[in-house]
Every structure is written in C-alpha cells, then in structure tokens.
Structure 1
Amino acid sequence: MSSVEVSGLDMHEVLAEPGAWTTVYTDGPQGEPPGAVESRMRSLKDRLRDAGVPDDDADAVLAALPDDTGLPAPSARWLLVRAGDIVADEGFSSARRGLERITHGSFPDIVPLVRHRGAQRRILVVETGRDGAELSLERLGRAEPEHTEQVEGDQQPITKVNPGGWSQARFQRSVEEVWQHTQSDVADAVDRIVRERQPDHVFVTGDAQARGLLLENIEGGTLDLVVEVDADTRADGADDQSLRDAIDETVSIAHDDAISAVRDRAAEQDARNGASGLADVVGALQQAQVQTLLLDERMADDEDTLLALSATPWVALTAADAFDAGPGTPVPAVEALVRAAVLTDAEVLFVEDEPDDGEPRSDRGPQPPRAVLRWPAASITGDAPAQENDDTTGSTS
C-alpha cells in the first residue's frame, strides 16, 4: 500500500480530481531572526506571483508559513491550497529535499511529500527502568510523537539492599519479583502497541537489568523488531545521542535493504517480476500491476513529461495510449509516475543521492525507473502468466 498519508485528507480523491491546485514546497523555520523571516516571505511572494499562483492562494500561503509549528531548524513545509483555502499543511523536521517547488495546475505536486514520507518511519522508543517505562510512538521527521504511554511499576521496594539476618534472601527475592512483574507489564504494553500501530522498529534503552527482563517477556514477533541500545537514557544527566545514532543507523540500513530487495525481486525469473525503463513502468502502472515503484530522486530535476489522466489508467506516454481518459495534462514525468502509483496503491521508494559532508554531488543523470510487479511481466503485453505445475492435483482427461 502507498504510504502517503495526510491527516484529514483523502489523497486518492485529491489526486483523481482535476482542479486548480497550488502546491508550495519550501523551507520551514531556519532559526533566523524575525527580520530575516519577513524578508524571506517577501521574496517568496514574488516567486508565487511569477509561478502564476492566484492572489487568494498566495495570501493563504504567506499567512500560514510564519506560524510556529514547533519544527526544529532546519525544516521544510509542503502546503496544498485551493480557492484560497489551505487544504494541507505538512511540516518536516529535516531540511528541504531538492529544489523549492511552487506550482499551480490541475494536479498537486506530491513528490516532495512522498520523499519525506518515505523517510518518516514509524518507531517505538521504550525507555525502561526498574520502576516502570516511558513508551513513545514516533514518526521520524515529525515534531511530536503520535502516542505516549507510561507504565508504572509496583510501589514496593525496587532497590536491593543488605538488611542482614535470615530475611535477606527473602527480601532480595521479593525485589526481583517486583522487577519481573514491572517488566512483564511493560512487555504487555509494547506488544499491544506493536500489534495495533505496527512500527517498523522498536528501540529499547534504559537500565541494563530492566532491559534484559523486558526482552525476556515480549513476544517473538515484537522481538524481531527490537534494537537494544546500550544506554540508560532515563538516568539523571543522560543524553539521548546513543539512541538517536542507533535510530539513524537502523533506519538507513533498513532503507538500503528495502531498495536492494526491490532490485533483487525485480530481476528474478529473468526480470519477469519487474519492469524497467519509462515505457515498461508506465505500461505496468496502467494495469495497476506495480507493487513497488523505485525512483531515482534525480528524476525530480529532469524535464521529461508524461500525461496525467483524470481517470484510469491515470498515466500515459502520449495521447495515443490514454485510452478513453481524455487528452491528459502534461506534468513532470516523476510526478505522473508517483501520482499513478498512489492511485493504484503501490509503494514508492526513492533512491536518495546524498553525498558525504563536503563532497560534491555527482553530475550523473537519473537512473531509469524500476518496479516490482504484482504478477509476471508477460501479462503487460497480453500474454497469459505461466501456470505452475501442481503435482498434487493429478491429470484429467
């Protein structure tokens, strides 16, 4: 399924309905003084006018952008406007990805939204201790967590002491039982959130002994998602740098693994499971055959266009293959591909080209689009998919 979500907005409906849409993708708070913000808004007003944005849409954008959304600096904003009303206003806790985009046309520009959403994995952070735990369900790149929860342990002694005498062993066992019961409660909460909200990763940090007890109690399916961070972020004076480093590394590796899996899957069975190149990918999208679409982010800088159609099959190379969906609207090729993918519930992944700090960006061109298909590629050309032999059914005459 496509991961594009905008609160209170049906993206299928927005993308399927031609209209007069203004899309603005620009910088959010940059940590500059108020005077610099005002100067930036004046400059943006000129760019809105130059892009042909209607005055009422431009006024709505300029009124919304200076609002304090709680985003750190640097950040980015994506706004969708129609008839002077802000339909969507999404903020991202990371710098803008690519060039500023200001458009006014029949369909929204959603590539910046999809690129940021692809990096906004849902994670569960569990900071546990002998007295309980704090749980935070987060979307990376968003300012506020989606859900927080606190699990409090039993209000009995939670620290081992040496009282001496015959009662020492019994006292120590009692303390250990309190710890065990507390982490069992934490595990129940973690398992429930994983079942209901399906995070991509679960990061466990906090007291070392409490972490060990927690990992003994959580379910196997949850354990597969766990990344244990050897740091007690609940301790007085502790910072969360180790946790943040672990999150960044884990998410980066997972993204690279997902891209490798798409490439491997698309190449299976002599590439019958995949489509490569603009024409083949468009053909697969027209049949809602794409399961995962893989795009090079450099396509966002390309000047190639495709036709965005107002009905199925949603995208076409030329008017000749638009079927009965009308003449179509020329839009940047990457926008047309992503729009068709979202409308057919395909997942979209971007290969991001991010050079190391201080390194120049290479001048290579974009790699061709690639897709993993829901059924074999032979059916794009009308051939019936090959039937697998089933030795259990026997033959009929």
Structure 2
Amino acid sequence: MQKVDLIATATFGLEAVVAEEVKALGYHDVQVENGKVQYRADLSAIARSNLWLRTADRVRLKIGEFRATTFDELFEQTKALPWADWISEDAAFPVEGKSVKSTLFSVSDCQAIVKKAVVESLKKTYKRDWFEEKGPLYKIEVALHKDVATLTIDTSGPGLHKRGYRGLIGTAPLKETMAAAMILLSRWKPDRILMDPFCGSGTIPIEAALIGQNIAPGMNREFVSEAWPVIPRSIWREARAETHDLARYEQKLEIIGTDADDEILKVARRNAGEAGVDDLIHFQRMDVRDIRSKRKYGYLICNPPYGERLGEWKQVSRLYGEMGRTFAAELDTWSFYIITSDEQFEEHFGRTASKKRKLYNGNIKVDYYQFYGPKPPRPAVVAPGE
C-alpha cells in the first residue's frame, strides 16, 4: 500500500504521549519534535490516526519540506511538489500559514505565493487555467521555521478534541485531548476506581470511560479527508469497523464525577449520554470538602479552579488547602493527579508531588502534579492442596 508521511500536531508537553499513541497503532518510524510527531505509514493510517488518537490536536499529511529564504525559492519548490497526487480537479484548497524565526516573515505573502504555486502545479496536470474550488476541502498549511518550509494538508477538519459529545460547556473548559492525556499520564487501569471532584461538564470522566472501554474517540464524528477521492472508501469502512471490533463494551468501570454546581452536572450527564457512556459514570452533587470513599487505591484526577478563573488567589489557595486536608484524611491510599497554574500549589496542598509535568491548558501555562499513593497488596497465592 502507498506510504505517506504524517504529522500529528500536539500541545506543548504532550508530544511524548502522542508518540506513544502513534506507536500503539503500529507505526514505529516516529520522530518527536516540538509541537508535533512525524511518522511514515501506509494510506490507512490517515483514517486510523484520526479515529484513534486521543491526545493529538490534528493529523496533517506532509507533502514536502525544503529550505527557502526567498519568495522565488518558496514558489519554485512548492510548485515542484506532487499536489495533483492528492488534490482533485474540483477541490477547494485554501492556504494558511505561519512563520517563526524565518527570513520570509510575511505570512500573508507566503500564503499567496504558495497558493499561486499550487495552482500552477495543478494546471500542468489538469490542463486548465482556472479552478472553481467547489469540491472536497484540502486545507494547505505553509509553516516556516528557521527558514525551513513544511507544506502539509489537514486531514482532520475540526480539531481532534471535538469528539462530538460536548455541546454546551462550562467556563474555561478542559479540552478533551488534555483530559485524555491526564488520564493516560496517570497510568490508570480500568479495574481501579476513578474520581473527578471538579467534573464540570464531565470531560475527564467521559474520556476515562472511553479509554476504559477502548472506544475510539473519533468513532462518532466525520473527518474532512473522508471526502478525498484519492482515499478509497474501503479504507474508511475497514478503519471504522476496527473501532467496533476493538471496543471492550463488556469492561466494567467505576467512574465518579462530582461538582458543587447542579446546573453544570446536568450538562455533564447530557454530554455523557451523547458519548454513549452515561451508564458508566455516576455524577453527583458534592462539595470537595465532603469527598469520601470506602474504596481503596483509587485515582483522583481533576482540573480544579485556577486563580485566573476565580480572580482571587486567596480563595484558590484556601480551596487547595481544603483539598489537601480532605484527600489526606479520607483518601489516604489514593493517588492524586491535579492540573493547575498555581506555582505554589504543593505548599497550599500540604504535600510535595511525586512528579510534576509542565503543560499548557489552552494558553495558560500549568503544571500537572502527580501524587502517587501506595500500591495495592498483591493477591495472596494459595499453594495447591491448601
């Protein structure tokens, strides 16, 4: 099958997580760079990557890469790329761009030159002077970094965080991709209880349910490349059939989402229903100070309010202190995974994290604090005859 070069774009700090996901799909020719993971695979990887990647922002098809310090170089080398191998005669092919630390710093000029070069390339193949651009969408990006131009076509359409289940959202929501990354980084296993005491619109519990039953995050949405004539429909049919074959609907889960706001919990329940996992999550109104559980060795994963959200650091620091005291007293065998922008979080929480990881929640710089609880005891081994 035809080989393609793909780029899974990633939020800063999540590149290694995305790379793990790519390798788990069976693609091992992988390069990890800032903000992206590059890999070479067969044509079916376009469908499978879009359907399965939980933490990537989108999947781009790499058409070419070259050094360009003049507009002539950008034009001629873009024109020489095999655009007609992908872009159909009736296609719409807008161009977007970005430039970082490059001689060609005018993004609008670079976009115009790339557009012109692609048109000239397509003219040679299709023997026409004008393109109506009313067919399938091929959104081209020219990305310049230190004078190296990378030309790609977006295969996803709306970002991969748009799973299709979240309509109404709360204030400053956590993206689905970030929620999934938090769960994957925690190494949570489906046989352990998971709780989010600030569940809001339900993103973390819902993503946990999808992960726990191995439900592909893109199962219930469409992708722009599904309309590309160059990708046989059989590839998408087989890739979607695989998502159903690999789902573990029989896997039992214990996932709890609590919040102090009744109205947002209604949204959470509605979102869980849209995702098809409402029977796997128990949502309950509860203040964080009232968190209790008889279960041992659970996982608590949450995105509590930041100072940016509440506007008062004193109120936030008091909340974090209440969290620390409640969790220590009531969930003493649990592991805690908490994301926040508060650089003094450990001081307020009353405990030093086992590990922390720098991330970005939207444009907010945050740390992912990981507090490891004790490991559960191993089941006793009974000798034969006892």
Q: Which TM-score applies when normalising by structure 1?
A: 0.23
- Report the structure number with the largest CA radius of gyration: 1
